[in-house]
Amino acid sequence: MTPGEGAREGTRDHSRAVGKLQALVRIPTVSHRDWSLVDTDAFDRLLVELERQFPLLHERLELTRIPTHALLLRWPGRSSERPVVLMAHLDVVPVEGTWQHPPFSGDVVDGSIWGRGTLDDKGCVAAICEAVETLLEDGFVPAQDVWLSFGCNEEVSGEAATLAVEELARRDVRPWFVLDEGGAVASEAFPGVAAPVGVVGVTEKGVTSLELRVEGRGGHASTPARMGPTARIARAITRIDRSPMPASTPEPTIELFRRMAPHAPLPLRALMANAGRLGPVLTRALVAAGPEPAAMTRTTFAVTTLSGSPALNVVAATAKAGVNIRIMVGDTVAGVLEHVRKVVADDQVHIDVVEQNEPSPVSPRDEAFGLVETTIAELFPDAVPAPYVMMAATDSRFFTRICDRVYRFAPFRMTKAQRESIHSYDEHLGVDAFLDGVRWYRRLIERLPA
Ligand SMILES: [Zn+2]
């Protein structure tokens, strides 16, 4: 922060920014796969509230509404050569579990703003908008065009993000980089590493789902035949479970370990620092360390849905199993299908692809990544910036079609408990963490090179 900027910052009313996030959290914009179940009135109200809270942004930026309730905004910069896209989403997941504070209250308690969406992802929406609003108040013009893309159905893999990409492609916009949710300034990120790690997702696993199905004769449960549909489906499941795909440690993960090494406990330091050379050793250690670290090294298969006969005394005529697969960078949908067919080794098991997504290409760590990284270092001097492979999916995966550099990072300090509250209960964001996030987006925009 330059001295002048600090002085301006000092006079600004921070409670104003917090009030804006509270107002957004209080509107329950819960999305559903079936859009007819959605309270569209809530989404309408959210868009009205956004306009009320960020008047300059709505006056000065060119707004395109993307069906049904997504926004694409263009802030013209001094140049359109290297436009950037800042992303976030307006929808939230339904409320789960018992909360200490009502999930749509936006209450500020013990220095935190509580509620569904504070971390995922209205915190980012409010921080991006407040950064832009305050820069507009200061008369700032960005060096490059800054686009804001706010989706309305990220949590249900809706098509708003795809439509936003189509709109950008239609207008011939080739972003220099795209920044979406994903990583964070994560404390307790790795056992023994005391420093928070500012993890920036440079790729994400591909989500693919299969349905396995076996048809048979059915009939009365008093005269069952051997190897009926349920037995065959069960055998297929155990075969998939017993035969994981090969594990390896991808390059961004090796770099993550390298960067954490100086902050790690002494016995682990050498292994982490030499992760590149000791790849196979590291991979074995991760696989052995439990399901979460193991998921960092390979494509995973989870059998999620199962169905057979609807009655206790009826043999199933059809048995089905749903398999949710997270494809590791380096593997492909075709390769995964081949693996499943090979290990199931039963041509009576029909395999249907329900959804398919390849893993996202790995974004380079060049000047744009450097900008994100140095802005992390500036605002979070105690944190270690590092790339990583995201396990979850974000809307930004659709932007890889028009942009080589897609980074996934929310500039908020999050504890382990906070990260676990996402999609669960007691989601809350520290007031100071939120304000640091606003400053982070401001600095990122201010630092865009000519
Ligand atoms: Zn999200």
* Tens digit of each residue's pLDDT (9 = 90 or more) over 348-358: 999 999 999 99
Q: pTM of the predicted model, to two decimals?
A: 0.92
Q: What is the average pLDDT across 386-409?
A: 96
Residue type, 399: F
How far from each other are the two terminal CA atoms of the chain, in whole angstroms?
Answer: 19
Percent of the chain whose predicted confidence (pLDDT) is above 70: 97
Q: In this prediction, what percent of the chain has a pLDDT beyond 90? A: 91
Q: What is the pLDDT of residues 76-115, one digit of tens each?
A: 999 999 999 999 999 999 998 999 999 999 999 999 999 9
Distance from the alpha carbon of residue 33 to the mean position of ligand 1, in angstroms: 15
Across the range 401-414, mean pLDDT stands at: 98
Give the distance (Å) from ligand 1 centre to CA of residue 180: 9
Q: What's the pLDDT at 9?
A: 53
- HEC string of the chain equals CCHHHHHHHHHCCHHHHHHHHHHHHCCCCECCCCHHHCCHHHHHHHHHHHHHHCHHHHHHCEEEEECCCEEEEEECCCEEEEEEEEEEECCECCCCCCCCCCCCCCCEECCEEECCCCCCCHHHHHHHHHHHHHHHHCCCCCCEEEEEEEECCHHHCCCHHHHHHHHHHHCCCCCCEEEEEEEEEECCCCCCCCCCEEEEEEEECEEEEEEEEEECCCEECCCCCCCCHHHHHHHHHHHHHHCCCCCCCCHHHHHHHHHHHHHCCHHHHHHHHCCCCCHHHHHHHHHHCCHHHHHCCCCEEEEEEEECCCCCCEECCEEEEEEEEEECECECHHHHHHHHHHHHCCCCCEEEEEECCCCCCCCCCCHHHHHHHHHHHHHCCCCEEEEEEECCCCHHHHHHHCCCCEEEEEEEEECHHHHHHCCCCCCEEEHHHHHHHHHHHHHHHHCCCC
CA of 155 to the centre of ligand 1 (A): 6
pLDDT for 449 beyond 50: yes
pLDDT above 60 (res 269): yes
Report the pLDDT value the prediction gives residue 81, as an integer from 0 to 100: 97
Q: Which residues are catalytic?
A: 91, 154
Q: Cα(422) to centroid of ligand 1, in Å? A: 8
Please give the average per-residue pLDDT across 375-394, as a whole number. Answer: 96
Q: Which residues have CB atoms below 5 A from the ion given as ligand 1? A: 120-121, 181
Residue 4 has pLDDT above 50, yes or no: no
**What confidence score (pLDDT) does residue 7 get?**
41
pLDDT by residue (tens digit) across 198-249? 999 999 999 999 999 999 999 999 999 999 999 999 999 999 999 999 999 9
Supply the pLDDT for residue 3.
Answer: 40
Q: Return mean pLDDT, the chain.
A: 95
- 202 near 217, Cβ under 8 Å? no
Residue 323 has pLDDT above 80, yes or no: yes
Tell whether the model's pLDDT for residue 191 goes beyond 90.
no
Cα-to-centroid distance, 89 and ligand 1 (Å): 7
Q: Ligand 1 centroid to 149 CA: how many Å?
A: 13
| pLDDT range class, residue 6, cuts 50, 70, 90 | very low
Whether the predicted pLDDT of 419 surpasses 50: yes
Query: Would you call 244 exposed, middle or buried from its count of C-beta atoms within 10 A (0-12, 13-18, 19+)?
Result: middle
Mean pLDDT, rounded, for 120-130: 98
